[in-house]
Structure 1
């Protein structure tokens, strides 16, 4: 397992695939954190690339002035938010019995998404001591809004996801999530539109997205399908095909066994 301190860029899938080199050299500038308020707190800004190149990716980023929407108005999201993140207030107790990892949850402004709601969704996944990463006895988790953290879960627009992930040499093409260093980046496009295998199952996809990216943060690499009819591991690149496996968003089964593969 990789060390927690390693600033390694992990190719991300949350059921997604297809990363390419990013010639834009986009970087991220983190500003100083401010004192939390009872609501939300601005914590940092992401610098925007000057001019994304449509030829630099198989899935080019649309112009920043454009927006996307699905048939449901609740799935509206901008292709690029305002670049400023606010931190969800409050926190949780410690869940699990292993090494404690403290995490924060940040949401980019301009997405129309509530930081506290997104934080509760992330908490539901990471605080699951039956099927989540806390179930294995190696890790415990606690969300905080102040002080040092071991990683931050960001909800970001497609364009800002590209900027954040480019910091680790990852080209997310405006459509996937990523994990690198202490940053877990969830693309609001994926969060709202899900992926083909998870249509109509938002809670299960959200569990997959968080567990896959946090799994990379814990040092897990990609694995394959363990066999026909068996649950797809969360670290499997499910968007490339289930290869006989069935969808699954959790790292551990009902008997507390890690769901993994070759």
Structure 2
């Protein structure tokens, strides 16, 4: 997800989108954190977020504990791979303060798997090689509050983002995934491919046809339904189309 999701934008589009979304249950979610991840000085109003059947909902799923705070400094996970000279050199990095139960290398391996998989960006002509120094792209696992500082938190959801040559992967999402995915492994591949897609210059896309696999550049962390994304971000038309989760470029 690139940029900040403006609450005012959300509220302005709410009435239009609400007319197209039927039979929605709602719950009230407090806006308890500012865009920069700091507690507000005064209580902020609440607003309702649409909730639908299982598989939808932009809130963080329950699950394993995740690192909330980091130091703002990252360690490079050592390792390099061979590839063609035109392959994009990238580093895998973990924020200091994050301890992965099985160590850093399994995280790096999952990132690499997503980037070199034949169903991934290589099918579009983009190849990658992992390096220890002089990267063109940095992929960083980032603690919750640092991710909020970097990516913004205008809506109360944990998100990842790309800023310049750096992809910030939200640790809460890496640890727990999203309601749209039953498989955490598949979601992690989506997360890497989506944010790297922004690095490659691709923007967000809506669901093109009802029941088809979602484009990897759809905001699948939030929803695979255009109506819900129209309410949450205002970036897609509320046309009733809903896709199925898909971690790979089409």
TM norm. shorter chain > 0.5: yes
How big is the shift at 1:150? 1.1
CA distance in 2, matches of 1:78, 1:234: 26
- The structure-2 alpha-carbon separation of the partners of 1:19 and 1:99, relative to structure 1 and needing over 3 Å to count, comes to farther
Other-structure match for 2:188 = 206
Residue 245 of structure 1, CA deviation? 1.4
Identify which of 239, 242, 247 aligns with 2:245. 247
Aligned-partner SS, 1:248: coil
- 1:109 paired to 2:96: yes
Q: With structure 1 as the length reference, what TM-score do the two structures score?
A: 0.65
The alpha carbon displacement at 1:99 in A equals: 4.1
- The TM-score normalised by the length of structure 2 is 0.67
Q: Does 1:118 align with 2:107?
A: yes
> How far did residue 171 of structure 1 move?
5.2
2:110 partner SS: helix
Q: Is the 8 A contact 1:158 1:189 kept in 2?
A: yes
- 8 Å Cα contact 1:161-1:172 kept in structure 2: no
Is residue 10–residue 178 contact of structure 1 (8 Å, CA) maintained in 2? yes
Cα distance, 1:164–1:79 mapped onto 2, change above 3 Å? same
How far is 1:83 from its partner?
2.8
Counterparts in 2 of 1:86 and 1:57: CA distance versus 1, 3 Å = farther
Structure 2 SS opposite 1:77: coil
Equivalence for 1:142: 129
1:158 aligns with 144
Deviations 1:201-249 (CA, angstroms, capped at 9, x unpaired):
0111011100000000000011111212211001012223333311100
RMSD over aligned CA atoms reads 3.2
Whether the 8 Å CA contact 2:95–2:143 is kept in 1: the answer is yes
Partners in 1 of 2:136 and 2:93 — Cα distance? 14
Matched, 1:194 2:177: yes
How far residue 58 of structure 1 moved from its aligned partner, in angstroms, is 7.9
Q: Map of 1:171-186 to 2, 5 A cutoff?
A: 175-186=158-169
**Residue 162 of structure 1: how far off its partner (Å):** 2.0
| CA drift at 1:135 | 1.5
Shift of 1:102: 0.6
Cα offset for 1:19?
A: 5.3
Is the Cα–Cα contact under 8 Å of residues 61 and 178 in structure 2 kept in the other structure?
A: no
Distance 1:158 1:58, change over 3 A: farther
Do 2:35 and 2:154's aligned partners in 1 also have CA atoms closer than 8 Å? no
In the other structure, the counterpart of 1:10 is: 2
In the superposition, relative to structure 1, how do residues 212 and 19 fare at CA in structure 2: closer, same or farther (>3 Å)?
A: farther
Aligned partners of 2:99, 2:137: CA distance in 1, in Å? 24
